[in-house]
């Protein structure tokens, strides 16, 4: 999407997308949750820091410049990082409401940031649309990654949906949910 944006907005959009790729991929680069939490905390510290001092990390420096230049809310980045902690653990997604919250704090927030970069005045009018688009995008991505998540022991399909279909997160992850798992998905 950044390649179709006006040239003067591309750098900011690429910084946002690079940041998202960094934090979304933390689980892929760790073997235990604690180093992942440390990495997410490093990003929190980078974002919350005041001043123009560089970090030596090109994505972090570009992101800090993007946040400052576009007056993006640091609290939304904090929420995004907090949501990504879920990725580090094998806890099941408790409910549909929790899944929607996760999608809102991750994918929807990224879409809203992009809208704020592209047109700060019109962006507030797109908040609801960004929320819906973010949920659709995140759920689609989670479905595509479902085999990977199962191998890891992760279950992003909400427990309440699995229960209504007649299975559990544990059965789902083991591939033992049968027709009930298919109904849930």
Whether 66 maps to a domain, the answer reads yes
pTM above 0.85, yes or no: yes
Whether 170 maps to a domain, the answer reads no
3-class secondary-structure state, position 11: helix
Per-residue pLDDT of 144-167, as tens digits, reads: 999 999 999 999 999 999 999 999
Whether 113 maps to a domain, the answer reads yes
Contact 152/174 with Cβ under 8 angstroms? no
Whether 131 maps to a domain, the answer reads yes
Whether 175 maps to a domain, the answer reads no
Whether 178 maps to a domain, the answer reads no
- Between vectors from CA 149 to CA 129 and to CA 74, what angle results, nearest 5°? 45
Number of domains in the chain: 1
Phi-psi region of 15 (alpha: psi -120 to 50; beta: other; left: phi over 0): alpha
Provide the domain limits for residue 77: 7-144
Question: What's the chain's length in residues?
Answer: 185
Per-residue pLDDT of 89-125, as tens digits, reads: 999 999 999 999 999 999 999 999 999 999 999 999 9
Whether 159 maps to a domain, the answer reads no
């Amino acid at each position: 999407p950044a390649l179709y944006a006006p040239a003067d907005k591309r750098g900011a959009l690429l910084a946002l997308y690079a940041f998202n790729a960094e934090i979304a991929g933390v689980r892929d680069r760790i073997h235990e949750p604690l180093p992942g939490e440390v990495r997410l905390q490093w990003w929190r510290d980078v974002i919350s820091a005041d001043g123009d001092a560089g970090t030596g990390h090109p994505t972090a420096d570009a992101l800090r410049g993007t946040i400052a230049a576009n007056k993006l809310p640091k609290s939304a980045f904090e929420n995004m990082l907090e949501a990504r902690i879920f990725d580090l653990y094998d806890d099941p997604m408790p409910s549909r409401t929790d899944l929607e919250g996760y999608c809102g704090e991750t994918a929807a927030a990224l879409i809203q940031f992009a809208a704020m970069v592209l047109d700060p005045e019109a962006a507030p009018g797109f908040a609801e649309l960004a929320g819906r688009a973010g949920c659709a995008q995140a759920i689609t991505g989670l479905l595509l990654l479902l085999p990977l998540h199962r191998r890891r022991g992760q279950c992003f399909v909400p427990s309440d949906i699995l229960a209504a279909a007649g299975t559990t997160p544990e059965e789902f992850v083991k591939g033992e949910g049968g027709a009930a798992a298919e109904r849930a998905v």
